[in-house]
Amino acid sequence: MQAQKKKTIRYHHGDLQNALIAATLDLITEQGNEAFTIREVARRAGVSHTAPYRHFTDKAALLAVVARQGFDMLVEHLLTRIANFPDDPLMRFKYSGIAYIEFAVDHPAHYRVMFGPDKSGSRENAAVRKSADTAFQILLDCIEACQAGGLIRPGNSMEMALSAWSMVHGFSMLLIDRFVRETPTPGQDLADMMSLVTDSLYFGLKTEKTD
Amino acid sequence: MQAQKKKTIRYHHGDLQNALIAATLDLITEQGNEAFTIREVARRAGVSHTAPYRHFTDKAALLAVVARQGFDMLVEHLLTRIANFPDDPLMRFKYSGIAYIEFAVDHPAHYRVMFGPDKSGSRENAAVRKSADTAFQILLDCIEACQAGGLIRPGNSMEMALSAWSMVHGFSMLLIDRFVRETPTPGQDLADMMSLVTDSLYFGLKTEKTD
DNA sequence: TTATAGTGTTGACAATGTCAACATTTTAAT
DNA sequence: ATTAAAATGTTGACATTGTCAACACTATAA
Protein backbone atom coordinates (compact mmCIF):
# COMPACT_ATOMS: atom_id res chain seq x y z
CA MET A 1 0.00 0.00 0.00
CA GLN A 2 2.95 2.27 0.40
CA ALA A 3 3.89 2.16 -3.25
CA GLN A 4 4.14 5.13 -5.64
CA LYS A 5 7.74 5.82 -4.87
CA LYS A 6 10.37 7.18 -7.20
CA LYS A 7 7.74 8.88 -9.32
CA THR A 8 7.74 12.32 -7.88
CA ILE A 9 10.79 14.31 -6.96
CA ARG A 10 10.67 14.58 -3.24
CA TYR A 11 12.54 16.50 -0.67
CA HIS A 12 13.14 13.35 1.27
CA HIS A 13 14.96 10.67 -0.60
CA GLY A 14 13.14 7.80 1.00
CA ASP A 15 16.00 5.42 1.47
CA LEU A 16 19.11 7.49 1.33
CA GLN A 17 21.05 5.35 3.74
CA ASN A 18 21.03 2.33 1.47
CA ALA A 19 21.37 4.44 -1.64
CA LEU A 20 24.60 5.83 -0.24
CA ILE A 21 25.95 2.41 0.56
CA ALA A 22 25.08 1.19 -2.91
CA ALA A 23 26.63 4.25 -4.50
CA THR A 24 29.79 3.70 -2.48
CA LEU A 25 30.03 0.13 -3.68
CA ASP A 26 29.51 1.12 -7.28
CA LEU A 27 32.06 3.85 -6.99
CA ILE A 28 34.86 1.79 -5.51
CA THR A 29 34.12 -1.07 -7.87
CA GLU A 30 34.26 1.17 -10.92
CA GLN A 31 36.99 3.58 -9.97
CA GLY A 32 38.91 1.97 -7.17
CA ASN A 33 39.25 2.79 -3.56
CA GLU A 34 40.82 6.18 -3.83
CA ALA A 35 37.88 7.47 -5.80
CA PHE A 36 35.60 7.18 -2.82
CA THR A 37 34.50 10.58 -1.66
CA ILE A 38 31.57 11.62 0.45
CA ARG A 39 30.73 14.27 -2.07
CA GLU A 40 30.86 11.96 -5.05
CA VAL A 41 28.70 9.43 -3.32
CA ALA A 42 26.21 12.16 -2.53
CA ARG A 43 26.27 13.24 -6.16
CA ARG A 44 25.52 9.72 -7.31
CA ALA A 45 22.65 9.45 -4.90
CA GLY A 46 21.35 12.77 -6.19
CA VAL A 47 21.53 14.63 -2.92
CA SER A 48 23.50 17.57 -1.65
CA HIS A 49 27.05 17.12 -0.47
CA THR A 50 26.21 17.12 3.20
CA ALA A 51 23.15 14.93 3.16
CA PRO A 52 25.22 11.82 3.98
CA TYR A 53 26.02 13.33 7.36
CA ARG A 54 22.43 12.73 8.42
CA HIS A 55 23.09 9.00 8.13
CA PHE A 56 26.78 8.55 8.82
CA THR A 57 28.82 10.49 11.29
CA ASP A 58 31.73 10.69 8.87
CA LYS A 59 33.54 9.06 6.00
CA ALA A 60 34.90 6.24 8.11
CA ALA A 61 31.44 5.35 9.39
CA LEU A 62 30.17 4.83 5.85
CA LEU A 63 33.17 2.69 5.05
CA ALA A 64 32.60 0.65 8.18
CA VAL A 65 29.14 -0.28 6.97
CA VAL A 66 30.53 -1.22 3.58
CA ALA A 67 33.16 -3.32 5.32
CA ARG A 68 30.57 -5.14 7.35
CA GLN A 69 28.55 -5.82 4.24
CA GLY A 70 31.70 -7.17 2.63
CA PHE A 71 32.28 -9.63 5.43
CA ASP A 72 28.69 -10.76 5.15
CA MET A 73 29.15 -11.35 1.44
CA LEU A 74 32.34 -13.23 2.14
CA VAL A 75 30.58 -15.47 4.63
CA GLU A 76 27.88 -16.19 2.10
CA HIS A 77 30.40 -17.07 -0.58
CA LEU A 78 32.35 -19.34 1.74
CA LEU A 79 29.23 -21.19 2.82
CA THR A 80 27.99 -21.58 -0.72
CA ARG A 81 31.29 -22.93 -1.90
CA ILE A 82 31.85 -25.50 0.82
CA ALA A 83 28.24 -26.61 0.64
CA ASN A 84 29.33 -28.59 -2.40
CA PHE A 85 31.16 -30.98 -0.13
CA PRO A 86 28.83 -31.80 2.71
CA ASP A 87 30.61 -35.00 3.63
CA ASP A 88 34.23 -34.28 2.88
CA PRO A 89 35.82 -32.23 5.63
CA LEU A 90 39.10 -31.96 3.84
CA MET A 91 37.52 -30.58 0.70
CA ARG A 92 35.53 -28.19 2.81
CA PHE A 93 38.71 -26.95 4.41
CA LYS A 94 40.49 -26.60 1.12
CA TYR A 95 37.61 -24.87 -0.58
CA SER A 96 37.05 -22.49 2.26
CA GLY A 97 40.53 -21.24 1.47
CA ILE A 98 39.95 -21.19 -2.26
CA ALA A 99 36.63 -19.44 -1.87
CA TYR A 100 38.29 -16.87 0.33
CA ILE A 101 40.82 -16.04 -2.34
CA GLU A 102 38.12 -16.05 -5.00
CA PHE A 103 36.19 -13.45 -3.09
CA ALA A 104 39.19 -11.18 -2.74
CA VAL A 105 40.02 -11.44 -6.41
CA ASP A 106 36.43 -10.91 -7.50
CA HIS A 107 35.87 -7.93 -5.23
CA PRO A 108 39.26 -6.31 -4.75
CA ALA A 109 37.99 -2.86 -3.88
CA HIS A 110 35.53 -4.22 -1.40
CA TYR A 111 38.21 -6.43 0.07
CA ARG A 112 40.50 -3.48 0.52
CA VAL A 113 37.83 -1.61 2.41
CA MET A 114 37.36 -4.61 4.67
CA PHE A 115 41.04 -4.92 5.45
CA GLY A 116 42.29 -1.47 4.72
CA PRO A 117 43.97 0.74 7.25
CA ASP A 118 41.78 1.48 10.18
CA LYS A 119 41.91 5.20 10.05
CA SER A 120 39.53 6.00 12.84
CA GLY A 121 38.73 2.94 14.78
CA SER A 122 36.12 1.38 12.55
CA ARG A 123 37.91 -1.89 13.20
CA GLU A 124 36.60 -1.61 16.72
CA ASN A 125 33.11 -1.29 15.37
CA ALA A 126 31.23 -4.15 16.99
CA ALA A 127 29.16 -4.95 13.91
CA VAL A 128 32.18 -5.16 11.64
CA ARG A 129 34.03 -7.25 14.14
CA LYS A 130 31.13 -9.64 14.47
CA SER A 131 30.81 -10.20 10.74
CA ALA A 132 34.55 -10.74 10.43
CA ASP A 133 34.48 -13.20 13.28
CA THR A 134 31.74 -15.17 11.58
CA ALA A 135 33.97 -15.62 8.55
CA PHE A 136 36.84 -16.70 10.74
CA GLN A 137 34.60 -19.14 12.51
CA ILE A 138 33.91 -20.94 9.23
CA LEU A 139 37.59 -21.59 8.78
CA LEU A 140 37.84 -22.74 12.37
CA ASP A 141 34.93 -25.12 11.97
CA CYS A 142 36.45 -26.66 8.87
CA ILE A 143 39.71 -27.25 10.67
CA GLU A 144 38.04 -28.79 13.69
CA ALA A 145 35.97 -31.05 11.47
CA CYS A 146 39.17 -32.24 9.84
CA GLN A 147 40.71 -32.84 13.21
CA ALA A 148 37.69 -34.86 14.26
CA GLY A 149 38.16 -36.96 11.14
CA GLY A 150 41.86 -37.44 11.79
CA LEU A 151 42.77 -35.49 8.67
CA ILE A 152 44.51 -32.65 10.42
CA ARG A 153 46.79 -33.27 13.30
CA PRO A 154 45.50 -32.55 16.76
CA GLY A 155 46.51 -29.32 18.34
CA ASN A 156 45.27 -25.83 18.94
CA SER A 157 42.74 -25.27 16.18
CA MET A 158 42.72 -21.55 16.83
CA GLU A 159 46.38 -21.32 16.03
CA MET A 160 45.93 -23.38 12.90
CA ALA A 161 43.05 -21.23 11.76
CA LEU A 162 45.20 -18.19 12.29
CA SER A 163 47.89 -19.68 10.10
CA ALA A 164 45.35 -20.57 7.45
CA TRP A 165 43.87 -17.12 7.52
CA SER A 166 47.30 -15.57 7.23
CA MET A 167 48.03 -17.67 4.21
CA VAL A 168 44.90 -16.93 2.22
CA HIS A 169 44.81 -13.31 3.30
CA GLY A 170 48.42 -12.78 2.35
CA PHE A 171 48.02 -14.45 -0.98
CA SER A 172 44.88 -12.46 -1.70
CA MET A 173 46.60 -9.21 -0.86
CA LEU A 174 49.61 -10.01 -2.99
CA LEU A 175 47.28 -10.79 -5.87
CA ILE A 176 45.05 -7.76 -5.69
CA ASP A 177 47.93 -5.42 -4.99
CA ARG A 178 49.65 -6.83 -8.06
CA PHE A 179 52.73 -8.13 -6.34
CA VAL A 180 51.94 -11.45 -7.90
CA ARG A 181 50.94 -11.22 -11.49
CA GLU A 182 52.31 -13.91 -13.66
CA THR A 183 52.04 -17.43 -12.44
CA PRO A 184 55.22 -18.88 -10.95
CA THR A 185 55.33 -21.54 -13.62
CA PRO A 186 54.01 -20.68 -17.07
CA GLY A 187 50.72 -22.15 -18.11
CA GLN A 188 49.20 -22.01 -14.68
CA ASP A 189 46.00 -20.21 -14.10
CA LEU A 190 44.57 -18.69 -10.98
CA ALA A 191 42.80 -21.87 -9.95
CA ASP A 192 46.07 -23.76 -10.01
CA MET A 193 47.76 -21.15 -7.90
CA MET A 194 44.99 -21.21 -5.36
CA SER A 195 45.28 -24.98 -5.05
CA LEU A 196 48.98 -24.68 -4.73
CA VAL A 197 48.81 -22.26 -1.86
CA THR A 198 46.13 -24.09 0.05
CA ASP A 199 47.98 -27.37 -0.47
CA SER A 200 51.18 -25.86 0.84
CA LEU A 201 49.37 -25.04 4.00
CA TYR A 202 47.94 -28.49 4.38
CA PHE A 203 50.98 -30.52 3.47
CA GLY A 204 53.65 -28.12 4.64
CA LEU A 205 57.05 -27.85 3.07
CA LYS A 206 58.86 -30.46 5.08
CA THR A 207 60.22 -33.55 3.43
CA GLU A 208 57.64 -36.28 3.61
CA LYS A 209 58.83 -39.33 5.41
CA THR A 210 55.91 -41.47 4.30
CA ASP A 211 53.15 -41.44 1.73
CA MET B 1 86.59 21.10 2.41
CA GLN B 2 83.00 21.63 1.54
CA ALA B 3 81.93 22.08 5.11
CA GLN B 4 80.19 25.13 6.62
CA LYS B 5 76.71 23.88 5.80
CA LYS B 6 73.57 24.42 7.84
CA LYS B 7 75.03 27.55 9.34
CA THR B 8 73.64 30.16 7.07
CA ILE B 9 70.09 30.31 5.87
CA ARG B 10 70.27 29.69 2.21
CA TYR B 11 67.89 29.89 -0.64
CA HIS B 12 68.81 26.42 -1.71
CA HIS B 13 68.30 23.74 0.85
CA GLY B 14 71.30 21.70 -0.09
CA ASP B 15 69.83 18.24 0.17
CA LEU B 16 66.13 18.70 -0.01
CA GLN B 17 65.50 15.43 -1.72
CA ASN B 18 66.77 13.38 1.20
CA ALA B 19 65.34 15.78 3.73
CA LEU B 20 61.91 15.21 2.24
CA ILE B 21 62.29 11.45 2.36
CA ALA B 22 63.44 11.63 5.97
CA ALA B 23 60.58 13.94 6.87
CA THR B 24 58.13 11.56 5.23
CA LEU B 25 59.45 8.68 7.27
CA ASP B 26 59.28 10.64 10.49
CA LEU B 27 55.79 11.76 9.71
CA ILE B 28 54.30 8.38 8.93
CA THR B 29 56.13 6.82 11.85
CA GLU B 30 54.83 9.40 14.28
CA GLN B 31 51.36 10.04 12.95
CA GLY B 32 50.53 7.12 10.73
CA ASN B 33 50.04 6.80 7.08
CA GLU B 34 47.09 9.10 6.61
CA ALA B 35 49.03 11.99 8.03
CA PHE B 36 51.37 12.09 5.10
CA THR B 37 50.84 15.17 2.98
CA ILE B 38 53.15 16.90 0.60
CA ARG B 39 52.60 20.16 2.39
CA GLU B 40 53.31 18.82 5.83
CA VAL B 41 56.49 17.20 4.61
CA ALA B 42 57.53 20.47 3.06
CA ARG B 43 56.80 22.24 6.32
CA ARG B 44 58.99 19.83 8.22
CA ALA B 45 61.79 20.30 5.76
CA GLY B 46 61.39 24.06 6.14
CA VAL B 47 60.58 24.80 2.55
CA SER B 48 57.58 26.12 0.74
CA HIS B 49 54.65 23.88 -0.06
CA THR B 50 55.60 23.38 -3.69
CA ALA B 51 59.31 22.86 -3.32
CA PRO B 52 58.89 19.08 -3.24
CA TYR B 53 57.69 19.19 -6.82
CA ARG B 54 61.22 20.04 -7.93
CA HIS B 55 62.28 16.60 -6.73
CA PHE B 56 59.23 14.38 -7.06
CA THR B 57 56.66 14.54 -9.79
CA ASP B 58 53.86 13.98 -7.31
CA LYS B 59 52.83 12.46 -4.03
CA ALA B 60 53.02 8.91 -5.33
CA ALA B 61 56.56 9.40 -6.55
CA LEU B 62 57.74 10.37 -3.09
CA LEU B 63 55.99 7.37 -1.62
CA ALA B 64 57.60 5.13 -4.21
CA VAL B 65 61.04 6.17 -3.02
CA VAL B 66 60.03 5.56 0.58
CA ALA B 67 58.74 2.15 -0.45
CA ARG B 68 61.99 1.27 -2.15
CA GLN B 69 63.90 2.35 0.90
CA GLY B 70 61.62 0.15 2.97
CA PHE B 71 62.40 -2.89 0.90
CA ASP B 72 66.08 -2.17 1.23
CA MET B 73 65.73 -1.98 4.99
CA LEU B 74 63.78 -5.22 4.95
CA VAL B 75 66.52 -6.93 2.98
CA GLU B 76 69.08 -5.73 5.45
CA HIS B 77 67.08 -6.97 8.41
CA LEU B 78 66.51 -10.37 6.81
CA LEU B 79 70.18 -10.79 6.03
CA THR B 80 71.26 -9.73 9.49
CA ARG B 81 68.85 -12.08 11.14
CA ILE B 82 69.70 -15.19 9.15
CA ALA B 83 73.41 -14.49 9.39
CA ASN B 84 73.15 -15.95 12.88
CA PHE B 85 72.73 -19.38 11.36
CA PRO B 86 75.36 -19.73 8.67
CA ASP B 87 75.27 -23.50 8.68
CA ASP B 88 71.69 -24.32 9.43
CA PRO B 89 69.49 -23.95 6.35
CA LEU B 90 66.34 -24.75 8.21
CA MET B 91 66.93 -22.10 10.82
CA ARG B 92 67.77 -19.66 8.08
CA PHE B 93 64.47 -20.42 6.44
CA LYS B 94 62.53 -20.13 9.64
CA TYR B 95 64.21 -16.93 10.70
CA SER B 96 63.79 -15.32 7.34
CA GLY B 97 60.07 -15.64 8.02
CA ILE B 98 60.34 -14.44 11.57
CA ALA B 99 62.53 -11.52 10.58
CA TYR B 100 60.02 -10.59 7.92
CA ILE B 101 57.23 -10.39 10.46
CA GLU B 102 59.48 -8.53 12.87
CA PHE B 103 60.15 -5.88 10.29
CA ALA B 104 56.47 -5.39 9.58
CA VAL B 105 55.63 -5.11 13.25
CA ASP B 106 58.53 -2.77 13.97
CA HIS B 107 57.80 -0.48 11.02
CA PRO B 108 54.09 -0.76 10.38
CA ALA B 109 53.71 2.57 8.62
CA HIS B 110 56.66 1.92 6.40
CA TYR B 111 55.36 -1.55 5.67
CA ARG B 112 52.01 -0.15 4.67
CA VAL B 113 53.64 2.20 2.23
CA MET B 114 55.55 -0.70 0.74
CA PHE B 115 52.46 -2.81 0.25
CA GLY B 116 49.75 -0.24 0.21
CA PRO B 117 47.40 0.31 -2.68
CA ASP B 118 49.21 1.22 -5.82
CA LYS B 119 47.39 4.41 -6.56
CA SER B 120 49.31 5.47 -9.59
CA GLY B 121 51.53 2.72 -10.81
CA SER B 122 54.43 3.11 -8.41
CA ARG B 123 54.36 -0.67 -8.15
CA GLU B 124 55.59 -0.67 -11.72
CA ASN B 125 58.47 1.52 -10.68
CA ALA B 126 61.54 -0.47 -11.67
CA ALA B 127 63.57 0.50 -8.61
CA VAL B 128 60.83 -0.49 -6.20
CA ARG B 129 60.28 -3.72 -8.02
CA LYS B 130 63.95 -4.55 -7.92
CA SER B 131 64.28 -3.99 -4.18
CA ALA B 132 61.18 -6.07 -3.56
CA ASP B 133 62.53 -8.85 -5.73
CA THR B 134 65.75 -8.88 -3.76
CA ALA B 135 63.81 -9.54 -0.59
CA PHE B 136 61.86 -12.29 -2.27
CA GLN B 137 65.07 -13.81 -3.53
CA ILE B 138 66.30 -14.26 0.04
CA LEU B 139 63.28 -16.37 0.84
CA LEU B 140 63.79 -18.33 -2.33
CA ASP B 141 67.44 -18.96 -1.56
CA CYS B 142 66.60 -20.22 1.91
CA ILE B 143 64.08 -22.64 0.49
CA GLU B 144 66.44 -23.94 -2.13
CA ALA B 145 69.18 -24.40 0.43
CA CYS B 146 66.77 -26.48 2.49
CA GLN B 147 65.88 -28.52 -0.54
CA ALA B 148 69.53 -29.13 -1.25
CA GLY B 149 69.88 -30.40 2.29
CA GLY B 150 66.84 -32.64 2.01
CA LEU B 151 64.97 -30.62 4.61
CA ILE B 152 62.23 -29.38 2.33
CA ARG B 153 60.65 -31.66 -0.18
CA PRO B 154 61.69 -31.29 -3.78
CA GLY B 155 59.40 -29.35 -6.03
CA ASN B 156 58.96 -25.93 -7.50
CA SER B 157 60.79 -23.64 -5.13
CA MET B 158 59.17 -20.59 -6.68
CA GLU B 159 55.76 -21.86 -5.73
CA MET B 160 56.92 -22.67 -2.24
CA ALA B 161 58.43 -19.24 -1.82
CA LEU B 162 55.17 -17.72 -2.94
CA SER B 163 53.33 -19.71 -0.30
CA ALA B 164 55.83 -18.69 2.32
CA TRP B 165 55.60 -15.06 1.34
CA SER B 166 51.81 -15.23 1.45
CA MET B 167 51.95 -16.63 4.92
CA VAL B 168 54.27 -14.09 6.48
CA HIS B 169 52.78 -11.20 4.57
CA GLY B 170 49.27 -12.15 5.56
CA PHE B 171 50.20 -12.62 9.17
CA SER B 172 52.04 -9.31 9.21
CA MET B 173 49.10 -7.49 7.71
CA LEU B 174 46.65 -9.03 10.15
CA LEU B 175 48.90 -7.95 12.98
CA ILE B 176 49.53 -4.38 11.97
CA ASP B 177 45.93 -3.85 10.88
CA ARG B 178 44.88 -5.10 14.29
CA PHE B 179 42.83 -8.03 13.13
CA VAL B 180 44.93 -10.14 15.39
CA ARG B 181 45.52 -8.61 18.76
CA GLU B 182 45.41 -10.99 21.60
CA THR B 183 47.30 -14.21 21.26
CA PRO B 184 45.20 -17.26 20.35
CA THR B 185 46.17 -18.94 23.58
CA PRO B 186 46.76 -16.78 26.65
CA GLY B 187 50.30 -16.30 27.78
CA GLN B 188 51.77 -16.34 24.35
CA ASP B 189 53.83 -13.48 23.16
CA LEU B 190 54.59 -12.27 19.70
CA ALA B 191 57.68 -14.44 19.34
CA ASP B 192 55.62 -17.54 20.06
CA MET B 193 53.05 -16.56 17.48
CA MET B 194 55.69 -15.99 14.87
CA SER B 195 57.16 -19.40 15.50
CA LEU B 196 53.75 -20.90 15.34
CA VAL B 197 52.97 -19.45 11.97
CA THR B 198 56.30 -20.27 10.39
CA ASP B 199 56.12 -23.80 11.80
CA SER B 200 52.65 -24.26 10.35
CA LEU B 201 54.07 -23.49 6.99
CA TYR B 202 56.93 -25.89 7.37
CA PHE B 203 55.09 -28.81 8.93
CA GLY B 204 51.71 -28.25 7.36
CA LEU B 205 48.47 -29.16 9.02
CA LYS B 206 48.15 -32.70 7.81
CA THR B 207 48.24 -35.58 10.25
CA GLU B 208 51.77 -36.76 10.62
CA LYS B 209 52.24 -40.37 9.70
CA THR B 210 55.70 -40.55 11.20
CA ASP B 211 57.88 -38.65 13.59
C1' DT C 1 -3.30 21.05 14.70
C1' DT C 2 0.91 21.77 15.87
C1' DA C 3 5.48 20.95 18.23
C1' DT C 4 9.24 18.18 17.40
C1' DA C 5 12.35 15.12 15.52
C1' DG C 6 14.11 13.66 11.13
C1' DT C 7 16.01 14.65 6.76
C1' DG C 8 18.02 17.84 3.13
C1' DT C 9 20.06 22.18 1.52
C1' DT C 10 23.16 26.28 1.24
C1' DG C 11 27.08 28.35 2.37
C1' DA C 12 31.04 28.61 4.78
C1' DC C 13 36.01 27.13 6.36
C1' DA C 14 40.48 25.19 6.39
C1' DA C 15 43.42 21.78 4.11
C1' DT C 16 45.14 19.55 0.27
C1' DG C 17 47.40 18.42 -4.57
C1' DT C 18 49.01 20.65 -8.18
C1' DC C 19 49.77 24.26 -11.73
C1' DA C 20 51.75 28.70 -13.60
C1' DA C 21 54.62 32.60 -13.02
C1' DC C 22 58.35 34.48 -10.99
C1' DA C 23 62.97 34.66 -8.09
C1' DT C 24 67.40 33.12 -6.85
C1' DT C 25 71.33 30.34 -7.24
C1' DT C 26 74.51 27.21 -9.40
C1' DT C 27 76.76 25.51 -13.48
C1' DA C 28 78.70 25.54 -17.72
C1' DA C 29 80.00 27.64 -22.13
C1' DT C 30 82.18 31.29 -23.99
C1' DA D 1 85.39 36.43 -15.64
C1' DT D 2 80.86 36.97 -17.89
C1' DT D 3 76.82 35.36 -18.86
C1' DA D 4 73.18 32.10 -20.57
C1' DA D 5 70.92 28.29 -19.12
C1' DA D 6 69.58 24.79 -15.93
C1' DA D 7 68.30 23.86 -11.01
C1' DT D 8 65.99 24.86 -7.26
C1' DG D 9 62.63 27.70 -4.37
C1' DT D 10 58.75 30.87 -3.64
C1' DT D 11 54.12 33.10 -4.17
C1' DG D 12 49.73 32.85 -5.45
C1' DA D 13 46.03 30.68 -7.57
C1' DC D 14 42.46 26.90 -8.44
C1' DA D 15 39.46 23.05 -7.88
C1' DT D 16 38.34 19.46 -4.58
C1' DT D 17 37.61 17.62 -0.27
C1' DG D 18 35.70 16.76 4.80
C1' DT D 19 33.00 18.81 7.89
C1' DC D 20 30.44 22.42 10.52
C1' DA D 21 26.59 25.80 11.34
C1' DA D 22 22.36 27.76 10.04
C1' DC D 23 18.36 27.19 7.81
C1' DA D 24 14.23 24.65 5.15
C1' DC D 25 11.11 21.14 4.38
C1' DT D 26 8.54 16.90 5.90
C1' DA D 27 6.69 13.29 8.65
C1' DT D 28 5.00 12.02 13.00
C1' DA D 29 3.14 12.05 17.40
C1' DA D 30 0.92 14.78 21.21
The domain locations on chain B are 1-56, 58-205
pLDDT at residue B53 is higher than 90:
yes
Q: Give the residue with greater pLDDT, A120 vs B164.
A: B164
B31-57 average pLDDT score: 96
pLDDT digit string (tens) for B82-125? Answer: 999 999 999 999 999 999 999 999 999 999 999 987 776 767 78
Average pLDDT, chain A: 90
Q: Which residues of B touch A112 (CB under 8 A)?
A: 117
Q: Which residues on neighbouring strands pair with residue B206, listed in sequence order?
A: A152
pTM over 0.75: yes
Nucleotide nearest to B42 (CA to C1'): D9
| Residue of B152, B206, B210, B211 to mutate, testing the A interface (most A Cβ within 10 Å of its Cβ) | B206
What is the pLDDT at residue A210? Answer: 47
pLDDT of residue B5: 35
How many angstroms separate the Cα of A35 from the Cα of each of A28, A62, A128, B173?
A: 6, 14, 22, 23
Q: Which of B160, B177, B211 sits opposite A205 (nearest CB)?
A: B160
Give B1's pLDDT tier (boundaries 50, 70, 90). Answer: very low
The closest CB to that of B201, out of A150, A180, A205, belongs to A205
Query: Residue A211: is its pLDDT beyond 70?
Result: no
A204 vs B145, B204, B211, CA distance in Å? 17, 3, 14
For residue B210, pLDDT beyond 80: no
A156 pLDDT higher than 60: yes
Query: Which tens digit of pLDDT belongs to each residue from A30-62?
Result: 999 999 999 999 999 999 999 999 999 999 999
Partner-chain residue, chosen from B34, B123, B203, that has the shortest CB–CB distance to A178: B123
A58 touches strand D (CB under 7 A): yes
Closest residue in A to B113 (Cα) is: A117
Distance, in Å, from the CA atom of A91 to the CA atom of A82, rounded to the nearest integer, reads 8
- pLDDT surpassing 80 at residue A187: no
For chain B, the distance separating the N- and C-terminal CA atoms, rounded to the nearest angstrom, is 67
The residue-averaged pLDDT of B56-78 equals 96
Strand D within 7 Å of which CB atoms in A 75-134?
none
**What is the pLDDT at residue B136?**
97
Q: How many CA atoms lie within 13 A of A204 on its CB side?
A: 23
The pLDDT, as a whole number, for residue B45 is 97
| Fold of the domain built from segment(s) B1-56 | Arc Repressor Mutant, subunit A (1.10.10)
Burial (0-12, 13-18, 19+ Cβ within 10 Å), B54: exposed
Domain made up of A58-205: CATH architecture? Orthogonal Bundle (1.10)
Among residues A26, A98, A25, A92, which one has the least CA distance to residue A65? A25
pLDDT for the residue B205: 87
Percent of chain B with pLDDT over 90: 78
Q: Mention every residue, 6+ apart, whose C-beta is less than 8 A from residue A175.
A: A101, A104, A105
